[in-house]
Amino acid sequence: MRVRNVVFVLIVCVLSVSLVSSVVAAQAPAKPAAPAQGAAAQAPQIHGSLIQVMRGILFINSNIVFAAQSEDPETIEPDEFLSLSPSALKSLYGKWMAVENAGIAMAEAANLLTIPGRRCSNGRPVPLQDPKWGEWVQGLRDAGMASFKAAQSRSQDAIVEVSETLTVACANCHERYRDVEPIINRCR
């Protein structure tokens, strides 16, 4: 009996010590973050060429908006495993929400077209110094947000209209900087 009591008291002691220490830990001031490392991580960094951003973000997301012209997102059959679906329109965040998100993705991707240091596929730097570049980036941003709003309205007519705006926003820039021969003249 006495042995049991001793064991019981010991357990209570250990428990309360660990409780107190966790409270103390919770109240201890957070360690100051290493400033240099944190600052570097917060600055934008370049990971892909311009063509990779185009193929990886703008191509994919503009096609989600374009697809909503002919197929009503509301009636799209979701994939069996929603949260594993690689198809935005059929995923957990599918149907009209996928179209909304595609608009946001394009507007946000416009920011990626303004970061210094990115290069085009031919090695030339992205022509950030050209005021026209900025104008067309803004056009993309606006078209992305217009797509978002059209998707919010759940109207396929609005999507048909905004698809035209979007196509023009892409084409303006492409005419000058992409659709030139030979490819070495891109981004010039």
Residues of the shown chain interacting with ligand HEC in the complex, contacts defined by CB under 6 A: 49-51, 54-55, 58-59, 62, 106, 113, 120-121, 133, 136-137, 140, 166, 169-170, 173-174, 177-178, 186-187
Q: Render the burial of 20-36: b for 16+ CB within 10 Å, e for the rest.
A: eeeeeeeeeeeeeeeee
Q: Please tell me whether residue 28 adopts helix, strand or coil conformation.
A: coil
Closer CB to ligand HEC, 98 or 120, in the complex: 120
Smallest distance, Å, CB 166 to ligand HEC? Answer: 6
Closer CB to ligand HEC, 55 or 87, in the complex: 55
Task: State the DSSP string of 159-180.
Answer: HHHHHHHHHHHHHHHHHHHTS-
Closer CB to ligand HEC, 38 or 56, in the complex: 56
Smallest distance, Å, CB 22 to ligand HEC? Answer: 51
d(C-alpha 145, C-alpha 147), whole Å: 5
Smallest distance, Å, CB 63 to ligand HEC? Answer: 8
Smallest distance, Å, CB 28 to ligand HEC? Answer: 49
Closer CB to ligand HEC, 90 or 124, in the complex: 124
Ramachandran sector of residue 184 (left: φ over 0; alpha: ψ -120 to 50; beta: rest): alpha
Smallest distance, Å, CB 41 to ligand HEC? Answer: 26
Among 110, 117, 118, smallest CA distance to 134 is for 110
Among 153, 180, 167, smallest CA distance to 74 is for 153
Smallest distance, Å, CB 160 to ligand HEC? Answer: 16
118 burial (CB, 10 Å; 0-12 / 13-18 / 19+) is: buried
Closer CB to ligand HEC, 58 or 95, in the complex: 58
Closer CB to ligand HEC, 73 or 144, in the complex: 144
CA angle 70, 89, 112 (to 5 degrees): 100
